[in-house]
Amino acid sequence: MALMTEANWEPKVLAFCCNWCSYSGADLVGLNRMKYPENVRIVRVPCSARVNPQFIIRAFQRGADGVLVAGCHPGDCHYSTGNYYTRRRFLVMKRLLEFIGIESQRFQARWISGAEAVKFRDTVTKLCEDIKALGPQRKLRDQK
Amino acid sequence: MHILAKANLIEAIERLVKEFKVLVPMQYDGVSRFSVWGSHGMQAFNASNTLLPPKDSLFPRTETLYAYQVANQEITGVTVRDQAEHQIIFGIRPCDMQSIHCLDDVFLTKGYADSYYHSKREKLLTVCIGCTKSEPTCFCESMGINPAGHSGADIQMNDLGSGYRVVAQSQSGQEIVEKWKDLLSQGQEEVVAASCTLKVDMNGVPEMLATLFEHSLWQEVSRKCIGCGTCTYLCPTCHCFDMDIQNQGNQGTRFRCWDSCMFSDYSRMAGGHDPRPSKSERLRNRFLHKLQFFSERYGKSLCVGCGRCLIKCPVHVDITLLIDQVRKEAAHV
Amino acid sequence: MNAIQIKMREVAGQLLSLGEVDRVIGWEKGRFAHQSPPAFITDETKVERLIWDEYCLTGTAKYLLDDPYRAGKTGLFARGCDARAINRLIQDGQVKRENIVIIGICCTGMSDSVSRQMAAKCCDCTHPTPVVYDLMIGEPVKPVAKPERFKAVAELEQKAAQEKSEYWTRQFAKCIRCYACRNICPACNCRECFADQYRVGWLGKQHHTAENQVFGLTRAYHIADRCIECGECARVCPVGIPLMELNRKLIKDIQQLFGDYHAGVDSETAPPLGRYSLDDMEEFM
């Protein structure tokens, strides 16, 4: 993993995907022989409610240019109610990040079911494009 | 005697900028500290003391000790980061000057010299400005320090109103004064020195403390303490640190950073045992280190009477009140 | 001598002599006139140490956590903010109501020890009269809404991303990581803070802006729906970081998104982030 220079910069996008829906959705992208950008690194979590809001701050600090949290649609949570908590948490978190000057495009939360391969592909493709347009995230970075 | 007119102060500093990183007292965004000449903020040569002590120029908050890379599970390319710049602390007060002497004792004496500290100390010059006024929280005189000046500084200056009296006190100080030759005039003026209004009697306190280790006063004094690190991080002489590594990808660094004996994880050992489990033990340790242990080991007080902890402690834990109380309790023992 | 102070000493003396409590926590005089630190009194003959003046700034409730298993009852002098802090601690399962005798004081606001004007935390106080008490000293006043306390937040929200980022970077560059904000905060009652578990990797011990920000933001979010707005964090910060702006931003958003909620006003209503509604706003579809 060589350090990226300004010239060959490619965004790093971290995607927290719920095991039951969004991770399967991402899997289905491949099964359907569709492509999504290599910039996305997926972290599989048991439920979107497992994503501690600090993970987002820490990801930005350690070098992520964008973060996605993806979970089951409301009503579909494997654990019945996990994603309702996720929704509350990240509605607030998203606004906090904007308040400290992180561009709103850099952090997103989406409901993506196991069948929604196209939605996963489109979401991350759009996310990567937006972040490419914004450039590297340096505001919370260790090394500025 | 040499006098540097205040109008020439900026020129005098500018002459040093080429060779030295010049640190001056600055006020920026509500915080006063020693900052590099020319950085944001207002110069604060007239303020009595900076909020943040100057110790970070010798003992940085976070200091990279070495960096390394990892390839095929082997550590390669270890580079030691130990380059010091020539620095001048311009406008240090006598109490802070004494604090550098305390740090010197810790990092350079008793058979081991800390190379990171040593290389910075060797390249450091100090210009001390004597105090003409004291804050209500200043008590350096009680700690055996003269508010008018400090013999350990390379150059001693004293505010005479329109200018500063300049006295070189070392070879390197003399070299700086040479550079200012054309800026200096000759004259005779009385040096006015501040006198502290806050006084404590330190006579015999280290010996008294030695008898009070198990005394209930520590419970009492520490009750209001909230266990934060304000006192230790604002203290010019506190010098505890921790070491850790930071890895990212195939490279990493080992660094040391300030730590505070007031924190719960400070004295916790690997097995989980903590010899100072509550704030009364931690507070006792801090005060004993300041007033007893250090003078037993190095023959001087580790408290220099700058008053920073008196000003900023959120709950007004007051070392001077503690000293008064120690005297009282020791009389009863 | 002021009437509140006379009454405080009287009540404390009674409670201690009757054995209803075995200590009271109030305030006493420090070395300087503008210092009124907390006082802990266990002896009825020492109640004369108790004072009430415009510098009684420090919260009393957090001290209940110092020895959570102590046998006796504590008499706690509580202003509006302290009473909400007690509710906070009760709701978080940290203290038991039956172990505290709350002596409420109707507070008219304290003075900043430097500027001698009304302290910032008191200017923004919505509940000067204790919301929970056993005994009350002074004349109760009704809670005030004070929507203007969100003004600084609203102004900052309007700024461009770059400007906001520069503002907070500058603020957190000052942070000396003394953790006074955390240690004084009644909502920060975790037995072990994530910041102290640095071997786990939540937070590096390095003192630099990035780590300072991670600490500050994580702490702010962790108390987001539980902050009682006592303003102690901003008061004790030795370098003057406007921490209440972060807390108020979160409080403001939580109120707008999930309805009116004032943490610590009662000890029953669960904090908004610990519950949910099926009708919550949908932005993630």
Higher pLDDT, residue C215 or A7: C215
pLDDT, residue A1, reads 43
Return the residue of B nearest to A1 by Cα: B249
Parts of chain C with a pLDDT under 50: none
- The minimum CA-CA distance between C276 and chain B, rounded to whole Å, is 35
Burial class (CB in 10 A: 0-12, 13-18, 19+), A78: middle
Return the residue of B nearest to A143 by Cα: B248
Note whether A96 contacts C: Cβ–Cβ < 8 A.
yes
Return the residue of B nearest to A63 by Cα: B248
- Closest partner CB to C272 (pick from A74, A88, A95): A88
Note whether A63 contacts B: Cβ–Cβ < 8 A.
yes
pLDDT, residue C242, reads 97
- Mark yes or no for CB contact B234/C196 under 8 Å: no
What one-character-per-residue DSSP string does B240-268 give? Answer: -EEEEEEEETTEEEEEEEE--TTSTTTS-
- Condensed to tens digits (0 to 9), the pLDDT of residues A30-79 reads 999 999 999 999 999 999 999 999 999 999 999 999 999 999 999 999 99
- Closest partner CB to C184 (pick from B51, B246, B314): B314
Residue in C27, C240, C31 with CA at minimum distance from that of residue C115: C240
Q: Where does the pLDDT of residue A144 fall: very low under 50, low under 70, confident under 90, or very high at 90 and above?
A: low
pLDDT, residue C1, reads 59
CB B5 within 8 A of CB B162: yes
Note whether B109 contacts A: Cβ–Cβ < 8 A.
no
Return the residue of C nearest to B229 by Cα: C178
Element (H, E) at B22: strand B21-28
Q: Which residues does B328 contact at the CB level (< 8 Å), separation at least 6?
A: none
Mean pLDDT value across chain B = 94
Q: So what's the ipTM on this one?
A: 0.93
Parts of chain B with a pLDDT under 70: none
Chain B contact set for A142 (CB, 8 A)? 248
Instruction: Evaluate the CA torsion angle C15, C16, C18, C21 in order and state its sign.
Output: positive
- The minimum CA-CA distance between B81 and chain A, rounded to whole Å, is 17
Q: How far is CA B189 from CA B91, B94, C147, in A?
A: 20, 21, 60
CB B152 within 8 A of CB B97: yes
Residue C153, number of CB atoms within 10 A of its CB? 20
Q: Is residue A2 predicted with pLDDT exceeding 70?
A: no
- The minimum CA-CA distance between A114 and chain B, rounded to whole Å, is 32
Chain B contact set for C66 (CB, 8 A)? 223, 279
- Condensed to tens digits (0 to 9), the pLDDT of residues B201-236 reads 999 999 999 999 999 999 999 999 999 999 999 999
- Mark yes or no for CB contact C208/B62 under 8 Å: yes
- Mark yes or no for CB contact A93/C281 under 8 Å: no
How far apart, in whole angstroms, are the C-alpha atoms of residue C78 and residue C247? 22
Q: Where does the pLDDT of residue A4 fall: very low under 50, low under 70, confident under 90, or very high at 90 and above?
A: low
Chain C contact set for B246 (CB, 8 A)? 204, 206
Task: Give B194-197 contacts, CB < 8 A, sequence gap 24+.
Answer: B194/B130, B194/B131, B194/B132, B194/B133, B194/B134, B194/B138, B194/B147, B194/B148, B195/B134, B195/B141, B195/B147, B196/B134, B196/B138, B196/B139, B196/B140, B196/B141, B196/B142, B196/B147, B196/B305, B197/B134, B197/B136, B197/B138
The torsion angle over the Cα atoms of residues A144, C196, B54 and B10, rounded to 10 degrees, is: 30
Domain ranges across chain A: 15-133
- Mark yes or no for CB contact C196/B263 under 8 Å: yes
Binding-site residues on chain C for chain A (CB distance < 8 A) = 153, 156-157, 161-169, 194, 202, 208, 210-211, 213-214, 217-218, 220-221, 224, 246, 249-250, 253-254, 257-258, 272-273, 276-278, 280-285
Q: Where does the pLDDT of residue A7 fall: very low under 50, low under 70, confident under 90, or very high at 90 and above?
A: confident
Q: Is residue A3 predicted with pLDDT exceeding 60?
A: no
pLDDT, residue C170, reads 95
Amino acid letter, B221: V
pLDDT, residue B83, reads 82
| Helix, strand, coil shares, percent, chain C, to 5 | 40, 10, 50
